[in-house]
Amino acid sequence: MFGNWLAQVAAVALMNLRNMRERAGTSLVALVGVAGVVTVVTGVLSIAEGFRSVLERAGADDVAIVLRGGASDEMNSNFSQAETRVIEDAEQVARDADGAIASTELYVIVDVPMARTGTPANVPLRGVSADSGALRQDFRIIDGRMFTPGTFEIIVGRGAVEQFSGLEVGRTVQSGSTNWVVAGHFADRGSVAESEIWTDATVLQGVYNRGASYQSVRAKLSTVDALQSFKDTLTADPRLNVRVLTERQYYEEQSRTLVSLVSSVGVAIAVLMGLGAVFAALNTMYSAVSTRTREIATLRALGFGAFPVVFSVLTEALLIGLVGGVIGMAIAYFAFNGMQASTLNFSSFSQITFAFAVTPALLVQGLIYALTLGLLGGLLPSVRAARLPIITGLREL
């Protein structure tokens, strides 16, 4: 009995697929609709994945960021020089021959023209200590050289060089009354640091009248598990009021707002465009059922059950969804993956450069969504086909 049922399902499904050539026009409309939806939705969501990725790559579990207590980011944080020394003296901070592996940092926002439009954009100019490069996982100078401490020299992240103009090695960048000379370019595995411009923290303090203040301390921990002990040591010190996080925790917080916003937009687009794709699939499958009315009635008269008929229509709809989804995923991957862009980081109100990331998880989501659209588009027409009275169908021309 079960074998007979499977034979009916296979026979009707194969016959239906062979006859798809007769409905090539309507099938193509539905296929293009599904492919378009998957392309757009995957492209939008790849923005969120790229932004998340660029921040996560900057994070390490054995590097701590110390902020003023209650501060959500560096812009709202402030430390005196004496406080930074207390933080660096904590026993959990790793040390080398030169002392604590830590960087006392501050930054300001400077205007730099966008490469494509020429309009000014906010770019972080970060003051760092000599050990700052050692704290970043894959920091390296890729062109020129490191800035000389105590001078008005800067180094520029690779992402900033690509997105903004006038940052070539040897060029002079004016900010306020100060002229900064670009000494080199650096890379850091595509992390958020590549969106920034770096200089000597002491020089930046003088130029912007920051006195001896800093905004954050970045410290290498002696072990990956030393964070809690480091946090306990600092919070127990009456001279300090601090908030301690790993780099990874800090950048996860920084990415939440934009990732949530872009994901919400992506879902809205998926729903709106998905409705259009479903209607196209419905039209295609209703057309298929209409042209096969006599054929379906004949099969029912020969003893084929209702479910094989339903399955045959759904198979065609799912095939359209599958092919459309694969095409959409391919277009999205080759069109968007790795594409460089910049956007506003709502946490710091500065531009951050990143690359669109069409991840395997996004591709799987796109395929599932395409199959769902096909299923929804074929469900009602398949039920209609199964309920079609045999006598009525046999009278159709």
Structural domain boundaries in the chain: 2-56+254-395, 70-240
Q: Does residue 307 carry a pLDDT above 50?
A: yes
What's the confidence (pLDDT) of residue 397?
45
Q: pLDDT tier at 70 (50, 70, 90 boundaries)?
A: confident
What's the confidence (pLDDT) of residue 51?
72
pLDDT tens profile 19-46: 556 666 666 777 777 888 888 888 888 8
Q: pLDDT tier at 365 (50, 70, 90 boundaries)?
A: confident
Q: Could you tell me which residue, 325 or 20, shows the higher pLDDT? A: 325
What's the confidence (pLDDT) of residue 1?
47
What's the confidence (pLDDT) of residue 2?
46
Q: pLDDT tier at 392 (50, 70, 90 boundaries)?
A: low
Distance CA 41, CA 383 (A): 29
Q: Could you tell me which residue, 152 or 299, shows the higher pLDDT? A: 152
pLDDT tens profile 107-134: 888 888 888 888 888 888 999 987 787 7
Mean pLDDT of 52-65: 77
Q: Could you tell me which residue, 10 or 71, shows the higher pLDDT? A: 71
C-beta contacts of 271-279 below 8 A and 24+ residues apart: 273/36, 273/37, 273/40, 273/41, 274/37, 274/369, 274/373, 276/33, 276/37, 277/30, 277/33, 277/34, 277/36, 277/37, 277/324, 277/373, 277/377, 278/373, 278/376, 278/377, 279/377
**C-alpha 188, offset from chain centre:** 18
Q: Does residue 288 carry a pLDDT above 50?
A: yes
What's the confidence (pLDDT) of residue 386?
63
Strand ranges (DSSP E) for the chain?
A: 63-68, 95-96, 99-100, 102-113, 120-128, 140-144, 153-157, 172-175, 178-187, 197-200, 216-220, 242-246, 340-345, 350-355
Q: pTM above the 0.85 mark?
A: no
pLDDT tens profile 170-205: 999 888 778 999 999 999 887 788 889 999 999 999
**Ramachandran assignment for 196, one of left (phi > 0), alpha (psi -120 to 50 degrees), beta (any other):** beta
Q: pLDDT tier at 291 (50, 70, 90 boundaries)?
A: low
Q: Could you tell me which residue, 218 or 265, shows the higher pLDDT? A: 218
